[in-house]
Amino acid sequence: MKKNSSSDHWKWIPSLYFIEGLPWAITMIVSVVMYKNLNISNSDIALCTSWLYLPWVIKPFWSPIIDTVNTKRSWIIGMQLLIGCCLALIGLTIPLESFFKYTLVFFWLIAFSSATQDIAADGLYLLSLSSHDQAWYIGIRNTFYRLAIITGQGLIIIIVGYLTDLTGQINLAWSLLFFSLSVTLFISAFYHYKVLPKNEQKRSNNSSQLFQEFYLILKSFFLKPSISVSIIFILIYRFGEAQLVKIAPLFMLDSLKDGGLGLSNVEYGFLYGTLGTACLTIGGIVGGILIAKQGLKFWIVWMALAMKLPDIVYVYMAHSLPSNKILIGTLVCIEQFGYGFGFTAYLLYMMMISEGKNSTSHYAICTGIMAMGMMVPSMFSGMIQESFGYFNFFIWVILSTIPGLIMIKFLSIKQNYGRNKA
């Protein structure tokens, strides 16, 4: 495939990776807040929305289809149109009595479409850019993906809050929001139809060969040295945080009489969705800088502690139920900065064990295992919280972080991995 000029890349890389991140944020974050606003129980929210991780767990298994059937460009445009339709249908079904089951079906379709778009977008990125440009634009694509997460967790929730105040109807506010998001995806599909590279050649439909190649890649991954220890570590490193991430928004939005902080959507969207996500991003940047200086092996224990110890702020908030928004925002920022800081070591470890002939595919397998490590614990987090209350649940979260810390002792980490060689 002929590589496009660098000036053309600016027309589609920022917008594509923003639209790649937005459906993920809608599926995994916005859905949780919406169901809480519409009085679905915490156990049902946690169980049902956690299943939405599944497409990202298993997406490596259908990536060969994306490689052989049609072009990456066609898959991207098609998935954006499908996501747009599903968003509109969510808006239409919210007023219905059985909205929960109908909207879940459409969130499922969005999740699978979004995971498929991820595969196609990353594939098009690799095909369209030279190795130099790929390295240069990696920061751009990650920045716009992160902006999409901030938009989903922050701006969208804030807009719903204002729409609720304006209309006086929470159901109508959410319907209007999803109609607007639908229009956004349709506009995006039209825009990317115009600007995405068009010189991609269709691959021959030799799907059996591709699946055979995938089997060999999968086999080579599971034959890596000490891979069982690595898989266990990837699965349980975030065992506590997987539960916390699902319940923290519900705790902030729940009423004081139910043990929550009683934040409005606007307050939550600003404090947790915007400030918190910004601090998470900063934590990740700081973590990357420090690892580059002294290596992953030096920092992994300290980063794990920085990720897990700040979870105690939720124990304090559940006990004291502070009303001071500055205090709440400060505590959220501390916890999110620590999460971003510690998550850097986790990502670098997965990159390290993925090194080798099929590093890209092996890293995709690692991210699938990582998604499973988030999906399973979060499924049952709502039932645990409803059984024991917020205060005891957050103590349980602290205890749940211990296995991940213990596993670090059994890891084999290259002496200077991640450290600048200069």
* Per-residue model confidence as pLDDT tens digits over 265-294: 999 999 998 899 889 888 888 888 888 888
Give me the pLDDT at residue 294, please.
85
pLDDT for 216-272, tens place per residue?
Answer: 888 888 888 889 999 999 999 999 999 999 999 999 999 999 999 999 999 999 999
DSSP state of 258: G
- Give percent of the chain with pLDDT exceeding 90: 58
Span 290-317, mean pLDDT? 91
pLDDT at 363: 81
Is residue 401 pLDDT above 90, yes or no?
A: yes
Q: CATH homologous superfamily of domain 1-205? A: MFS general substrate transporter like domains (1.20.1250.20)
The per-residue pLDDT for 131 is 66
Domain(s) of CATH 1.20.1250.20: residues in the chain: 1-205, 207-422
Query: Quick check: 4 pLDDT over 60?
Result: no
Rounded mean pLDDT, 379-395: 94
Average pLDDT value for residue range 140-144: 80
Q: What percent of the chain has pLDDT over 70?
A: 94
Q: Which residue has the higher pLDDT, 313 or 200?
A: 313
Arithmetic mean of pLDDT, 295-316: 92
Q: The domain at 207-422 falls in which architecture?
A: Up-down Bundle (1.20)
Q: Average pLDDT over the chain, rounded to whole?
A: 88
